[in-house]
Structure 1
Amino acid sequence: MNAFVIEAHALAKTFGATRALAGIDLAVQRGEAVAIMGASGSGKTTLLHVLAGITAPDAGSVTFHPSAGGPVEVTALGESARSRLRRERFGFVFQQGLLIPELTAVENVALASMINGVAKKDAIPHAASWLAALGLAGMEDRRIGELSGGQAQRVAIARAQATGAEIVFADEPTGALDSHTSAEVMDALLWSTTGQGRTLVVVTHDADVAARCTRTVAVRDGRVVSSAVDA
């Protein structure tokens, strides 16, 4: 099994006159938690989106090494194949959660599995087990508007894990939370990823969040300027 779960080489991306990525190389080890930091406009979110197959780069390559099967060159896939990869192999947690307010907590989590063909009768108890593991037992039938910000983010974390994602991409997952709730959400995010032998890549402005990761990658002007293992 390859030691790296995802590798990027010479990534370049421009939006109009803005150069978002300027030849980035990055390799993420299996089971690692990597924080990507940088000022607004540094390219960190674009880097996350390219690694996750959300955005196609103008040049360069991203290769995903699943735990079973051969390597997958993400950047060589068409949009439908990248979409399938995101649904089946990757998990996502965003600042606002992007949960469906009309659905209950357990339905939001179960939906990730159901989209991949799992029957509702199987997806619901599996989703409920993830909610319970993340401290939300008894809240399965609450709609998102009935949850606190931290609780909603834990629902989003459960949804990211419900399909057995090998790598979770998180974009400012604690950005809208106070410091206490932020720490609780990071507890849940780390436990459900690296705590289970999975991988986390998180974009953050928060030095406290980055300090809890294995390694911090600093990005400036579309380039990696440092990559340091956190103490």
Structure 2
Amino acid sequence: MNAPVIHAQSLTKAFGATTALAGVDLAVQRGESVAIMGASGSGKTTLLHVLAGITTPDAGRVVFTPASAPATEITGLGESARSRLRRESFGFVFQQGLLIPELTAIENVALALMINGTPRKASIERAAGWLASLGLAGMEDRRIGELSGGQAQRVAIARAQVTGAEIVFADEPTGALDSHTSAEVMDALLWSTTGQGRTLVVVTHDATVAARCSRTVHVKDGRITNAEVAA
């Protein structure tokens, strides 16, 4: 069996007297979509941040195994190396998108490539292709404030995918959307990740969103309590 694309072992993390993670083990297979659910304060967002190399655990390890490169122990990297890994191999979609309002949709997407050294012209061309594939053709020059919530989230999805990210980490990507728009954003997110053989890890409080994923992991008091595989 192939190694998981991301594998966490015995993760612990505390913030002062609060234990956010208490010995978490989790393996995510390549091409899988995993939903992480739990009550507020359960540790689900901390788990996502540790998996993605945003937060370092107090103990335990996270190993990332790319499709065409040796495995990397994320928890053994320094901040600059983890930052580079996040830029080059991971994509991120957050509840509010965290897009730059002063930039247009296409500039927001292209910026992810230009930061990694891709020339502007090539970055703009690739960004345009992703926006078109997500139903945003003709909206490239709109600023984020001129887009609906669902359109802005699709810009965020394009930004997360334009670099060829092997894994997309999404934290409540539909939390601010109505049910119809939420379904459309999940369609776009799944098409652009698992639909392309890539991997999605999503934190959500919405059981409807979790049901769209191939597996749901429940977190309570910093521990994984059980996992459900979609029918």
Relative to the length of structure 2, the TM-score reads: 0.99
Match of 2:146 in 1: 146
Contact 1:2 1:65 in 2 (8 A): no
Match of 1:158 in 2: 158
Q: How does 1:56-135 map to 2 (within 5 A)?
A: 56-135=56-135
Match of 2:181 in 1: 181
Match of 1:23 in 2: 23
Using the aligned pairs only, state the percent identity. 81
Match of 2:41 in 1: 41
Relative to the length of structure 1, the TM-score reads: 0.99
Alpha-carbon shift at residue 2 of structure 1 (Å) = 3.2
Q: Secondary structure at the match of 2:5?
A: strand
* Gaps in structure 1 of 5+ consecutive residues: none
Alpha-carbon shift at residue 227 of structure 1 (Å) = 1.0
**Segments of 4+ moved more than 4 angstroms:** none
Alpha-carbon shift at residue 148 of structure 1 (Å) = 0.1
Contact 1:95 1:176 in 2 (8 A): yes
Contact 1:92 1:160 in 2 (8 A): yes
Alpha-carbon shift at residue 10 of structure 1 (Å) = 0.1
CA distance in 2, matches of 1:210, 1:41: 18
Alpha-carbon shift at residue 209 of structure 1 (Å) = 0.2
Alpha-carbon shift at residue 69 of structure 1 (Å) = 1.2
How far does the alpha carbon of each residue in 1:28-62 deviate from its partner, in whole angstroms, 9 at most, with x for none?
00000000000000000000000000000000000
CA distance in 2, matches of 1:138, 1:129: 11
CA distance in 1, matches of 2:172, 2:55: 18
How far does the alpha carbon of each residue in 1:166-197 deviate from its partner, in whole angstroms, 9 at most, with x for none?
00000000000000000000000000000000
Contact 1:93 1:169 in 2 (8 A): yes
* Pairs aligned (count): 231
Q: Secondary structure at the match of 1:36?
A: strand
Match of 1:54 in 2: 54
CA distance in 2, matches of 1:197, 1:3: 15
CA distance in 2, matches of 1:87, 1:78: 14
Contact 1:35 1:217 in 2 (8 A): yes
Alpha-carbon shift at residue 3 of structure 1 (Å) = 3.8
How far does the alpha carbon of each residue in 1:102-126 deviate from its partner, in whole angstroms, 9 at most, with x for none?
0000000000000000000100010
Q: Secondary structure at the match of 1:42?
A: coil
Paired residue type of 1:54: I
Q: Secondary structure at the match of 1:69?
A: coil
Paired residue type of 1:11: L
